[in-house]
């Protein structure tokens, strides 16, 4: 059944990509599978792109994906911190199902062979590699490095350039560099600004692909700390205060220019029309750490408030999905794998939690009514968890009563509705507990200090207003 469904969607997508009246030169030839490019930001604020309402930060290339494709206004990651979110994205499954609940931030418990994406899990790259795709990963991995089997080259990628750890200096230097090409450390002193280097490597990979379709995953470490911006970017944002926000803005615009170079590479090779490009962020903005902002949302990275798990998500596939579209129903990062596989004509495995979005975006008309891809979404990290069912979201915390929000009526999560909705609270708690009964025990745990810090984030107050543009220079 899955094989027929995947092949049918691939055929329909290929037909949609053909201009009216266009004839193929060989009627027996199979449609060309699309190339796939995923662009992942790290700790980007929800409100820090032009297409998301920012008046401070210039992001024209990322914004172009919204004008030329589809903007998802209710896109969620499956986790509120880096590594678990990436595990869900890579597998299309709730990462708690295979024990990847906690972040890979030292110190952690557990044996070395457990501290990474379990070898029993299959990545999107492995599926595509098996379908004849050339695959490459550029940037931050953060899915395990304690044993060689966790390396990207062992998880479906033909090429790797980046760092295995959760962060890196933006000017990697000599023996202290975390940067690797394949398995070998890069120690040359003249490595360019890391965001630029990732774009250069991705573009070179694209230019080398002549025969097979390719899957290019660019995992920027920007704008994750450390806050390190290029001098020309600091000059561009000279009037933006405070200094940390100025550096952050420069890092985001550098990432935007890197995205622009990747899109230009596709144009130069004549690949734009047959390439599915997807941009998203790994979790909510790290407010207070990297000077990101999440307006109009409440919360930040590490929480299950909207500002911790709702992210910008944009997709472009010219001729298949319409330009300048909005999709206003909830979607998940878990949907990336099944959507890409369906677009490529690859059969979908039955055990996925993610949903193929192709039918919802068919014929370039994002459906904003009727049944959406997900009626219910879940989150869990240590002793706090959350469930969204319809428009209602409940957050369960260990040290206080649950929080209940009507997201449709109260996007900023100003009003806890728990006291007036006891039956709804009971229903959502039951749904959450039923889901939790299906999960594996965590393979490792973070330190108690790290866990307590995440719990305390719910006590903070978060700005939900977009700041004004800086004064002219």
**Catalytic residue set:** 82, 142
Q: How far apart are CA 201 and CA 265, in angstroms?
A: 11
Q: How far apart are CA 101 and CA 80, in angstroms?
A: 10
Q: How far apart are CA 391 and CA 308, in angstroms?
A: 17
Q: How far apart are CA 200 and CA 196, in angstroms?
A: 6
Tell me which H or E stretch contains 235. helix 231-236
Q: How far apart are CA 316 and CA 318, in angstroms?
A: 6
Residues 93 and 351: beta-carbon distance below 8 Å: yes
Beta-carbon contacts of 174 under 8 Å, excluding residues fewer than 6 positions away, are 187, 188, 189
Residue labelled with tokens 């298949």? 320
Of the candidates 315, 340, 214, 318, which has an alpha carbon nearest to the alpha carbon of residue 273? 318
Of the candidates 194, 218, 216, which has an alpha carbon nearest to the alpha carbon of residue 206? 216
Name residue 280's beta-bridge partners: 40, 313
Residues 231 and 171: beta-carbon distance below 8 Å: no
Residue labelled with tokens 């899109």? 263
Q: How far apart are CA 409 and CA 86, in angstroms?
A: 30
DSSP at 5 = H
The pairing of strands 214-219 and 35-41 is parallel
Q: How far apart are CA 466 and CA 473, in angstroms?
A: 20
The pairing of strands 392-396 and 403-406 is antiparallel
Of the candidates 65, 118, 142, 148, which has an alpha carbon nearest to the alpha carbon of residue 443? 118
Q: How far apart are CA 213 and CA 130, in angstroms?
A: 12
Q: Residue 172: what are its φ and ψ, rounded to 5°? A: -60, 135
């Amino acid at each position: 059944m899955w094989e027929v469904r995947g092949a049918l969607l691939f055929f329909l997508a290929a037909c949609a990509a053909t201009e009216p009246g266009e004839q193929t030169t060989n009627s027996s030839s199979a449609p060309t599978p699309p190339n796939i490019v995923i662009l992942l930001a790290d700790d980007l604020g929800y409100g820090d792109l032009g297409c998301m309402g920012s008046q401070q930060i210039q992001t024209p290339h990322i914004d172009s994906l919204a004008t030329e494709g589809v903007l998802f206004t209710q896109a969620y990651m499956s986790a509120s911190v880096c590594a678990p979110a990436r595990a869900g994205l890579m597998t299309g499954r709730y990462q708690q199902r295979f024990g990847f609940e906690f972040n890979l931030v030292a110190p952690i418990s557990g044996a070395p062979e457990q501290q990474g994406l379990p070898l029993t899990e299959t990545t999107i790259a492995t599926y595509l590699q098996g379908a004849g795709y050339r695959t490459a990963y550029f940037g931050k991995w953060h899915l395990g490095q304690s044993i060689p089997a966790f390396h990207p080259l062992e998880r479906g990628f033909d090429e790797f350039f980046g760092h295995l750890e959760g962060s890196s200096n933006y000017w990697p230097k000599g023996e202290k560099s975390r940067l690797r090409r394949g398995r070998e450390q890069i120690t040359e002193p003249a490595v360019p600004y890391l965001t630029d280097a990732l774009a250069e490597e991705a573009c070179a990979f694209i230019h080398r692909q002549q025969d097979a379709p390719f899957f290019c995953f660019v995992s920027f470490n920007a704008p994750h700390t450390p806050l390190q911006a290029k001098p020309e970017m600091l000059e561009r944002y000279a009037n933006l205060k405070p200094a940390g926000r100025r550096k952050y803005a420069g890092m985001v615009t550098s990432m935007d220019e890197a995205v622009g170079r990747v899109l230009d590479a596709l144009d130069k090779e004549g690949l734009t029309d047959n390439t599915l490009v997807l941009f998203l962020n790994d979790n909510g903005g790290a407010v207070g750490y990297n000077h990101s902002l999440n307006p109009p949302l409440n919360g930040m990275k590490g929480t299950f408030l909207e500002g911790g798990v709702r992210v910008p998500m944009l997709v472009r596939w010219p001729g298949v999905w319409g330009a300048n579209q909005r999709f206003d129903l909830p979607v998940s990062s878990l949907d990336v794998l099944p959507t890409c596989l369906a677009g490529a004509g690859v059969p979908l495995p039955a055990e996925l939690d993610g949903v193929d979005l192709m039918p919802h975006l068919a014929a370039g008309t994002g459906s904003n009514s009727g049944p959406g891809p997900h009626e219910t979404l879940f989150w869990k990290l240590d002793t706090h968890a959350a469930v969204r069912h319809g428009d209602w979201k409940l957050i369960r915390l260990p040290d206080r009563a649950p929080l209940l929000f009507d997201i449709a009526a109260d996007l900023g999560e100003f009003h806890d509705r728990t006291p007036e909705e006891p039956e709804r609270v009971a229903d959502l708690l039951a749904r959450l507990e039923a889901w939790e009964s299906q999960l594996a025990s965590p393979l490792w745990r973070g330190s108690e200090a790290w866990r307590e810090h995440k719990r305390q984030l719910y006590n903070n107050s978060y700005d939900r207003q977009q700041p004004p543009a800086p004064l002219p220079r």
